[in-house]
């Protein structure tokens, strides 16, 4: 072989070797990028999981879970549905990018639509074109208009084999589609969310009254102590409503305890509807109810209490085919700096409640 040919062979070998190393390192770099991306994704899921696990109250937990899925899934639209065993439906509890109409009216039965199928099978569903998905259900569009083209990822929230609810996500902010890696990654977050939801349920059962679903007396006293401390530390107003159903013993004796329980639940519902989000309502015992009004002076507490009294007086409830009404007496207590314990605030409100009853009931005394 001539010297020239030897040089050609050697040159070709160098080129092949160079090409090999170039593509080898390029692939290695690509794999390193993939590995780094996967680590970053898992780190994000871990951080979001820690964030939601710190919430014990459902009102704080569910929006935190929704936010976590929006971040991890990089979406602008989604909903968190919990399974309502009594009604046998999935009920939207929090959402992003959904209209008020959708939140109010969309309720999937088990097995119905994509979310209902996820709840039924306890398995995630990923669909990148809903126009051809037979299980997709549109609650609002007419059939003649055709189905909207959407990409959807729906995941079950499972704790110890029980489906607690469903997370539904669509509208990737990138405009792209979900991939199987999204499903795998978000399933980890769904497992963490399910544990947190179960913990919050257990916590709420421990601090709420079984019948009325308001705070129990024990938890109410704890919250009152906290609010009194805040009022004292920051020199802020604080009021307390003490509510008692008028002639409740006679009501029970006449209609029975089952109807009495319905009256208690009816009253609890009106208290929830009338009071503000910041107010703290509880069942103190029997037919007695209490409401803590943070940042509220006596004058404003009187306005809210009177509104509550009127709502209770005018709203009836139906049982056994008949319509029933109840009235309440309300005493108001206002925190004063000379008070050394929450029991003094309770005592003042109770004293005014007694006066309301003495003056003829169905009234407010401050």
For residue 170, what is the domain's CATH number? Answer: 3.30.450.40
The answer to the question of residue 305 being in a domain is yes
The answer to the question of residue 232 being in a domain is yes
The C-alpha atoms of residue 362 and residue 360 are separated, in whole angstroms, by: 7
Would you give the distance in Å from CA 114 to the centre of its chain?
21
The answer to the question of residue 196 being in a domain is yes
pLDDT tens, residue by residue, 338-353: 888 899 999 999 999 9
* Of 203, 238, 266, the domain-final residue: 203
Give the pLDDT mean for 304-308.
97
Q: What is the CATH number of the domain that holds 228?
A: 3.30.70.270
Same domain, 146 and 72: yes
User: What's the number of domains the chain is made of?
Assistant: 2
Residues 6+ apart with CB under 8 A from 108: 81, 89, 90, 115, 116, 119, 137, 166
The answer to the question of residue 152 being in a domain is yes
Same domain, 198 and 223: no
Strands, E, within 71-192: which ranges?
Answer: 75-84, 89-96, 107-109, 125-127, 152-159, 162-172
The C-alpha atoms of residue 83 and residue 154 are separated, in whole angstroms, by: 14
pLDDT tens, residue by residue, 38-77: 677 778 777 888 888 888 888 899 999 999 999 999 999 9
Hey, how many other C-beta atoms are within 10 angstroms of the C-beta on 148? Answer: 12
The answer to the question of residue 37 being in a domain is no
Same domain, 247 and 192: no
The answer to the question of residue 140 being in a domain is yes
pLDDT tens, residue by residue, 263-300: 999 999 999 999 998 999 999 999 999 999 999 999 99
* Of 173, 203, 233, the domain-final residue: 203
Supply the range of the domain harboring residue 48. 42-203
The answer to the question of residue 28 being in a domain is no
The answer to the question of residue 10 being in a domain is no
Same domain, 252 and 292: yes
């Amino acid at each position: 072989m001539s010297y020239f040919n030897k040089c050609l062979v050697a040159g070709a070998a160098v080129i092949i070797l160079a090409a090999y190393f170039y593509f080898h390192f390029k692939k290695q770099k690509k794999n390193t990028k993939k590995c780094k991306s996967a680590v970053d994704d898992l780190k994000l899921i871990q951080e979001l999981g820690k964030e939601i696990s710190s919430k014990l109250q459902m009102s704080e937990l569910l929006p935190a879970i929704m936010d976590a899925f929006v971040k991890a899934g990089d979406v602008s639209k989604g909903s968190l549905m919990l399974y309502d065993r009594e009604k046998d439906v999935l009920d939207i509890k929090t959402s992003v990018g959904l209209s008020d109409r959708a939140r109010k009216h969309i309720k999937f039965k088990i097995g119905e639509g994509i979310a209902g199928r996820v709840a039924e099978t306890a398995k995630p569903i990923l669909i990148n074109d809903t126009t051809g998905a037979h299980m997709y259900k549109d609650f609002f569009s007419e059939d003649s208009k055709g189905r909207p083209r959407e990409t959807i990822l729906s995941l079950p929230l499972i704790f110890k084999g029980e489906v607690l609810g469903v997370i539904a996500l669509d509208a990737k902010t990138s405009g792209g589609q979900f991939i199987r890696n999204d499903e795998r990654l978000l399933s980890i977050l769904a497992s963490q969310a399910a544990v947190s939801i179960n913990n919050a349920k257990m916590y709420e059962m421990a601090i709420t009254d079984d019948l009325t679903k308001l705070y129990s007396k024990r938890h109410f006293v704890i919250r009152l102590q906290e609010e009194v401390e805040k009022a004292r530390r920051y020199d802020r107003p604080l009021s307390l409503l003490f509510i008692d159903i008028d002639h409740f013993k006679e009501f029970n004796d006449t209609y029975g305890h089952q109807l009495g329980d319905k009256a208690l639940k009816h009253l609890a519902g009106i208290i929830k509807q009338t009071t503000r989000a910041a107010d703290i309502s509880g069942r103190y015992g029997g037919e007695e109810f209490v409401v803590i009004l943070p940042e509220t002076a006596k004058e404003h507490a009187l306005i809210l209490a009177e509104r509550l009294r009127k709502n209770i007086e005018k709203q009836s409830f139906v049982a056994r085919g008949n319509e029933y009404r109840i009235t309440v007496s309300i005493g108001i207590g206002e925190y004063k700096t000379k008070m050394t314990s929450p029991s003094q605030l309770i005592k003042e409100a109770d004293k005014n409640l007694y006066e309301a009853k003495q003056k003829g009931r169905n009234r407010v005394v401050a």
